[in-house]
Structure 1
Amino acid sequence: MSESERLSVFKTYKLYVGGKFPRSESGRVYEVTDSKGRWLANAPKSSRKDARDAVSAARKAFGGWSGATAYNRGQVLYRVAEMLEGRREQFTAEVAASEGISKAKAAAVVAATVDRWVWYAGWTDKIGQVTGGANPVAGPFFNLSTPEPTGVVTVLAPQDSSFLGLVSVLAPVIATGNTAVVVASERSPLPALSLGEVLATSDVPGGVVNILSGGTAELAAPLAAHQDVNGIDLYGADETLAKELEIAAADNLKRVLRPSPVDFSADPGIGRLTAFLETKTVWHPTGSLGASGSGY
């Protein structure tokens, strides 16, 4: 059979929740088109039930992931970069179609994305040295501060930077020991859904990253109000939605990262690494007698 006589085999995109690839429990999909309105694929349209399932998976995975050594998390993240490097051609095609840029520009974006992932992998066992340390106190005590992850973090991915922006907001969340529920770009979700395939074939435990596609506002509302979500990055929300979500997040005192303009091609700094960290302070007597005490 000649190539022209073959039927095209279209890719079926699915959610990534708890290390598995479910369709939306609602059975809904929506059309994803390129910058010229041409059909690219049908993406699953997640429901509130999918969002709750993702939070449950993230909570279940938190203990093991946060309890792993920072060095081990760095190794796991570096393995993801290896897998991304091997699929650069696929991601280049998806980014070019999703963002309406040339293949050459898309290839540069994908290369920068892989480099960004490596960059955050390298920070896993260093951020504690930067943000923690010994504190000068009066009295015969050692006073030490160490960073600890916040918990389950919802990440609203950038709407216009479907891959580099996505990785720039996701990688620092998991690098510091949090688990994540990601709401992919509503307009350009395909690179995010393909990232789930990479995570599943790397060493990232199931549930550490959960990726949903669909309506950003529809999914963000229940996630912002969810009592088992500890933090939320509002980057992918517009100004009106961000205000509504911030009010909902206040109900259980979620840590909130408000949206602000970011040049994802620039040096990211450590701002997002520290955004979802808590500081634990431990006191210990300097003498040989007495018991140690700790507090927050």
Structure 2
Amino acid sequence: MSPTTTSAAGDRRLGVPKTHKLFIGGAFPRSESGRTYEVTTSRGAFAANVAQGSRKDVRDAVRAARAAQSGWAGATAYNRGQVLYRVAELMEGRRAQFEADVAAGEGMSAARASAVVSAAIDRWVWYAGWADKIAQVAGNANPVAGPFFNISSPEPTGVAGVLAPQASSLLGLVSVLAPAVVSGNTAVVLASQERPLPAVALAEVLATSDVPGGVVNLLTGRTAELAPPLAAHQDVNALDLAGAVGAENVTWGELEAAAADSLKRVRRPAAEEGPDWTAEQSLRGILAYTETKTVWHPKGT
């Protein structure tokens, strides 16, 4: 039922209820199945109705990510950094919504939620700053015995499937998404099943920023339903299993086995309970989604 509010003129009106949708290819479609599910706060109160994605939505999201990947990878590193920094600017402008969603979903005080949102924005800026520095740090001019130049440079892996952390709905999400896209990969993200609202708000930020449609695609729904087809999809090149920690009816082994059929690169949390997301920030996260290309070129005479 819509909440009743009072307008500036004193008239009573019905509020506009919102059913949160998926984010695929830069648009906000409903799930093709037409399903939704109810999200509650940490105290069990109703929070929102959210689209419940299906296997078909996973396929649509992967298709959108693949279509956007070459253009995103082909952009200059400086341009990618500027685009991602713009996301942080818009997150800062909507921090009140992020704080409210994090506080309600994770059961935090307002002060703690504010600190988490600040950390998430700062982390996004940190990864955006690496966009035009990855090649200098991870690339190299290799010494060889012969009249050749031998140069190695990192390139994006392709399409990354990302299972966002279940408990850390914003900071954890940023910690696994930003390193995947900064080097030129595109991503299909499964939001936290029980705490998806910060991810939905981030999708709305992405839609109003300069990030090209399809670079980030975000699905909400049951992790046990969406994770297996994402792990098994033949056109996904890498998989982050952070969201398998704490998810119902989901095991790492099954997802790794599904990913092995197409030789995906798989990131698995080091700890059974998942990492400490307040400290999860490193160049290793970026390099996990890159491959090294080595070029030989004759020096000439």
User: TM-score scaled to structure 1, two decimals?
Assistant: 0.94
Q: 2:285 aligns with which of 267, 272, 282?
A: 272
Comparing 104-113 with 150-159, greater Cα deviation is found at 104-113
Instruction: Give, in whole Å, the separation in 2 of the partners of 1:60 and 1:100.
Output: 39
Q: Which residue is 1:294 aligned to?
A: none
1:262 counterpart residue number: 275
The alignment partner of 1:252 has SS state of coil
Once the 2 structures are TM-superposed, how far is the Cα of residue 81 of structure 1 from its aligned partner? 0.6
**Deviation string for 1:234-279 (max 9, x for gaps)?**
1110386211011111111111111223222126111110001000
Equivalent residue number for residue 151 of structure 1: 158
In structure 2, C-alpha distance between the alignment counterparts of 1:136 and 1:9, rounded to whole Å: 65
What is the percentage of aligned positions where both structures have the same residue? Answer: 67
In structure 2, distance between residues paired with 1:224 and 1:18: 20
Match of 2:172 among 148, 165, 177: 165
Query: Which residue of structure 2 aligns with residue 293 of structure 1?
Result: none
Q: Of residues 133, 148, 158 in structure 2, which corresponds to 1:126?
A: 133
Report deviation, 1:12.
Answer: 2.3
Deviations 1:124-172 (A, max 9, x none): 0001111111112221211100000000000000000000100110011
Q: Is the 8 A contact 1:236 1:259 kept in 2?
A: no
Task: Tell me if structure 1 keeps the 8 A contact 2:240–2:267.
Answer: yes
For structure 2, the residue ranges without an aligned partner over 5 or more in a row are: none
Cα 1:238–1:111 change in 2 (3 A) is: closer
Counterpart CA distance in 2 for 1:220 and 1:102 is: 31
Rounded to whole Å, the distance in 2 between the matches of 1:142 and 1:31 is 59
- Is 1:217–1:241's contact at 8 Å kept on the other side of the alignment? no
Alignment partner, residue 30 of structure 1: 37
- The question of 1:282 aligning with 2:295 is answered yes
**Distance (whole Å) between structure 1 residues aligned to residue 118 and residue 252 of structure 2:** 31
Describe the SS at the equivalent of 1:10.
coil
8 Å CA contact 1:134, 1:143 repeated in 2: yes
Q: Is contact 1:237-1:259 (8 Å) kept? A: no
- Contact persistence 2:166–2:245 (CA under 8 A): no
Q: 2:147 aligns with which of 140, 146, 151?
A: 140
Structure 2 CA distance, aligned partners of 1:259 and 1:246? 12
The answer to whether the 8 Å contact 2:175/2:280 transfers is: no
Which runs of 5 or more structure 1 residues have no equivalent in the other structure? 289-296
SS of residue matched to 2:14? coil
User: AA paired with 1:39?
Assistant: F
Residue aligning to 1:223? 230
Question: What is the CA-CA distance between 1:287 and the residue it aligns to?
Answer: 2.0
- Tell me the equivalent position of 1:208: 215
Q: What secondary structure is seen at the aligned counterpart in 2 of 1:245? A: helix
Secondary structure of 1:182's counterpart equals: strand
C-alpha contact 2:36 2:50 (8 A) present in aligned 1: yes
For 1:118 and 1:196, the matched residues in 2 are separated by 17
- Choose 2-11 or 71-80, whichever is displaced more: 2-11
Distance 1:172 1:225, change over 3 A: same
> Aligned to 1:21, what secondary structure does the other structure show?
coil
Residues 29-178 of structure 1 mapped to structure 2, 5 A cutoff: 29-178=36-185
Aligned length: 288
Task: Name the residue aligned to 1:245.
Answer: 255
Q: What is the aligned-residue RMSD (CA, Å)?
A: 1.4
CA contact 2:19–2:51 (8 Å) conserved in 1: no
What residue identity is the alignment partner of 1:249? Answer: A
If the length of structure 2 is used for normalisation, what is the TM-score? 0.93
Greater alpha carbon shift after TM alignment, 278-287 vs 205-214: 278-287
